[in-house]
Amino acid sequence: MAQKNRAGTLAAFLAVLYYEFLWNIRKKKIIAIFIIIFAIATVQLAFAPIADAVANPPQTLQANPTFTFDGIAALTGIFLFLVGVATTMNTVSGEFESGTIVPLLTKPVSKTLVFAGKVVAAVTTLLAAYAFLVAYITVGGTLIYGPQDNLNVVPLGILGLTIGSMVWASIALTLGTLSKNSVLAALGSFGFYIGITIAGALIGSFLGASTILFYAPGMGASGTTGACAGLERGGGQTFSTGTDGLASMLMRWVLNPGQVLNFCGFQFRASGAPTTTLLSSDTFANVAFRDLWVSLVYVAGLLLLSWFAFRRSQIAES
Amino acid sequence: MPDDRAIETHDLSKKYGDRLAVDRLNLTVASKQVHGFLGPNGAGKSTTIKMMVGLLRPTSGSLSILGQGVRGDNPKVRRKLGYMPELPRFPKHLSGEELLDVYGRMYGMSKTERKGRIPELIKMVGLEGRGKDRIGKYSKGMQQRIGIAQALISDPELVILDEPSIGLDPVGMVEVRNMVKDIVKSGTTVFFSSHLLAEVQQVCDHVTVIHLGVMRYSGTLDGISSNVFARRRIVIELEKPVDSVLASLKTLKFATAEANMNTYTLHLDTREDVRAEISRAVTGAGGVIVRMQEEGGGLEDAFLSLVGKEGMA
Ligand SMILES: Nc1ncnc2c1ncn2[C@@H]1O[C@H](COP(=O)(O)OP(=O)(O)OP(=O)(O)O)[C@@H](O)[C@H]1O
Ligand SMILES: [Mg+2]
């Protein structure tokens, strides 16, 4: 019986993508991610009006033209982590756990294509989730807090949130592929998140914004628009410049490319308060660019590792 | 490219750690026939099949499917192949029809092809009216049936079924047998594993017997009884026990003898008809034969002797 159809690689890829979405939509995983996002955005939107209403005496709500921009910039850390990990923790390991990997991999689609389909589905899910979130706080913000500034850079915020979240998602995907266990993938990622956060905080408080933090995933180094010596006096604004802060950095890159960020270090002396010294300084443009490629290198490196592990894997369990 | 060979393996071996699950298997499955792969539990059937469909990498040796060497990830070979895993598990959240549809897409089937094929298969495997139900709600036997359907979705040249009738009721087993017969009629090669001799006997022209990872026989079904040396027994009942009869039987070169009261059993090491010689030996020693009967030598006994008598149904 001759095969009438010779589907190209594209058709096979689309079939895998369809499989991935069909499965995840049916499992209501995608819906769950959207609900989490909706809940968090609603809290963000409703916080000030509720606080004002219950204040004594009640306050009238102030117009806030930077609500949307600040709202996007505030989405970092555990939020990006949770959404990212929820998206990919069982992407590969779930197939092993349920045994569905057996019929899947015996279809005429290469392992590489299956893996690519899963990654593209995860990125698309994150992109859609963050686009929904940003649209929601933009519309909600305009209705509640009046017209919003800088809406032109908001798409960059969506991109930044997606890539920043993908760093964590890639860690979960890699751990899941290596362990073939979703729980281990989630716990391992969480352990990694806690570890990197604590290590980052320790480095930050003893050494300051040292170079190593530029290249670590997570919150990264803090940079200030003020002078380092004046840090205690509250001069300038402080920004987190790690992979978690990518959305904020990308938006500021466009708005304020030449603005200089100073990275300060501490020197502890035998007696008296530690002194603050300038370690390095750079423009928003350069910091954001570095942040972008550091994030992308993490994502690409981790995906490469899990692609390799997936290709090598044998399916011995029935 | 040998057109007439659907499957060919050369010294195919697979080790799990230190355990040799498949040991230098040289198997040839000719096209357009039903080939049974028979062996007791743990014989290495599933391991061999998983290497064929690319789930496992051979430890050594090689294999080719439909004339193409299978090394590493080879989706091109799988395009012409339908496979039903042992105890298959599919995404529970999809319906039977959705499953067939998404797998059909992976084979590059067009929408019209899928639309035509899916209801046909659902009907064929006896899931009519249940195609829209989620697989998670299927019984074990129904999951087995959808497993057969998905193996046939692309109308493959070669179908590999790993224990297709496990978990089916007796009616289901007959249905599967008939399905296999229908599939091969359309020119498809079917290779299926089983630990049930009776099942293989009813559908296969050719059979390969494997035990402890080693191939014990491969050829036609009829060839087994003639090629495989199955131990025959001759049971003799005497009027009363006579000691000298046993002594006399023990001198026969082609058999080993044992006695139990007035019943004497001879395990034959020959395929020739030796009843006359035996009868002469008994009467010569003063025994009076009441009954003399030959036992064994059938297909069943041939299999039992192939797999060392243990574990074969
Ligand atoms: N994942 C595995 N890890 C280690 N050993 C395994 C694994 N799978 C199978 N084996 C061993 O390999 C041998 C052959 O197993 P296999 O599953 O191929 O047998 P089978 O002929 O399919 O048996 P059954 O009729 O029970 O399905 C057995 O000794 C089994 O214990
Ligand atoms: Mg088996």
pLDDT value of residue B312: 40
Distance from CA of B233 to the nearest CA of A (A): 41
CB contacts, 8 Å: B105 with chain A: 11, 14-15, 18-19
From the list A114, A295, A166, the residue with the least C-alpha distance to B102 is A114
What's the CATH architecture for B5-227?
Answer: 3-Layer(aba) Sandwich (3.40)
Average pLDDT, stretch A292-299?
96
Q: Is the pLDDT of residue A233 over 70?
A: no
Tell me the sheet residues that pair with A289: none
Best CA proximity match to A180, nearest among A10, A315, A1 = A315
Q: Name the band, by pLDDT with cuts 50, 70 and 90, for residue A102.
A: very high
Q: What is the pLDDT of residues B128-181, one digit of tens each?
A: 999 999 999 999 889 999 999 999 999 999 999 999 988 888 888 888 888 888
Q: What is the pLDDT of residue A258?
A: 87
Looking at all shown ligands, the one closest to residue B211's CA atom is 1
Question: Which pLDDT score, from 0 to 100, does residue A281 have?
Answer: 87
Single pTM value for the model: 0.87
Chain A residues with beta carbon closer than 8 angstroms to that of B161? none
**Residue B74 confidence class, pLDDT cut points 50, 70, 90:** confident
Using the predicted structure, report yes or no on whether residue A49 has a pLDDT greater than 90. no
pLDDT of residue A19: 94
pLDDT tens, position by position, A264-284: 888 777 777 777 888 888 898
C-beta of residue B32 within 8 angstroms of C-beta of residue B201: no
Cβ contact A125:A33 at 8 Å: yes
**For the residues B218-241, what does the mean pLDDT come to?**
80
Please state the separation of Cα B107 from the chain's center in Å: 28
Taking the C-alpha atoms of residue A273 and residue B199, their distance in angstroms, rounded to an integer, is: 86
Q: For residues B118 and B100, is the Cβ–Cβ distance under 8 A?
A: yes
Scanning chain A, the segments in alpha helix (DSSP H) are 9-26, 29-54, 67-74, 77-88, 93-98, 101-105, 111-145, 154-179, 182-206, 246-255, 284-312
User: How many Å apart are CA A310 and CA A301, to the nearest integer?
Assistant: 14
C-beta of residue B4 within 8 angstroms of C-beta of residue B31: yes
What is the value of ipTM here, to two decimals? 0.86
Per-residue pLDDT, averaged over A16-23, amounts to 92
Average pLDDT, integer, range B195-207: 86
Q: What whole-number distance in Å separates Cα of residue A245 and Cα of residue B19?
A: 52
| Residue to mutate (ligand 1; options B47, B50, B212; most atoms within 8 A of CB) | B47
Compute the distance between CA of residue A174 and CA of residue A313 in angstroms, rounded to an integer: 13
Q: What is the pLDDT of residue A2?
A: 39
Residue with the larger pLDDT of the pair A222 and A185? A185
Contact across the interface for A12 and B54, Cβ inside 8 Å: no
Mean pLDDT of chain B: 88
Return d(Cα B252, Cα B278) in angstroms, integer: 8
pLDDT confidence of A59, banded at 50, 70, 90?
Answer: confident
Q: How many CA atoms lie within 13 A of B188 on its CB side?
A: 27
**Low-confidence winner among A122-126, B27-31, B279-283 (lowest mean pLDDT):** B279-283
pLDDT higher than threshold 80 for residue A137: yes
Q: Are B83 and A108 in contact (CB under 8 A)?
A: no
Residues of B within 8 A of A15 (CB-CB) are 102, 105-106, 108
Of A5, A8, A314, the CB nearest to B109: A5
| Residue A4 pLDDT greater than 60, yes or no | no
Above 50 in pLDDT, residue A6?
no
Q: Exposed/middle/buried for A129, CB within 10 Å: 0-12, 13-18, 19+?
A: buried
What is the SS3 assignment for B7?
strand
* Angstrom distance (rounded) from CA B234 to CA B120: 54
What are the extents of the domains in chain B? 5-227, 232-296
The mean pLDDT of B107-113, rounded to a whole number, is 93
pLDDT over 50 at A287, yes or no: yes
Provide the pLDDT for residue B81.
94
pLDDT at B151: 96
3-class state of residue A107 by DSSP: coil
- Token digits for A148? 């919003």
For residue B118, the model assigns a pLDDT of: 96
Structure confidence at residue B311 (pLDDT): 40
Report pLDDT for B28.
94
Give the per-residue pLDDT at A264.
Answer: 86
**Which one of the ligands is nearest to B20 CA?**
1
Q: Give, for B35, the enclosing helix (H) or strand (E).
A: strand B34-38
Measured CA to CA, the distance from residue A306 to residue A13 in angstroms comes to 18
Architecture category of domain B232-296 in CATH: 2-Layer Sandwich (3.30)
Nearest CA to ligand 1 atom 11: B21
Beta carbons of B102 and A18 less than 8 Å apart: yes
B283-289 mean pLDDT: 88
Give the pLDDT score at B45.
95
Please tell me the distance from the alpha carbon of residue A147 to that of residue A80, in angstroms, as a whole number: 27
Q: How confident is the model at residue B309 (pLDDT cuts 50, 70, 90)?
A: low
* Residue to substitute from A14, A107, A109, interface B, most B β-carbons within 10 A: A107
pLDDT digits (tens, 9 = 90+) for A149-198: 888 899 999 999 999 999 999 999 999 999 999 999 999 999 999 999 99
Cβ within 8 Å, pair A100-B89: yes
Grade residue A234 by pLDDT with cuts at 50, 70 and 90. Answer: low
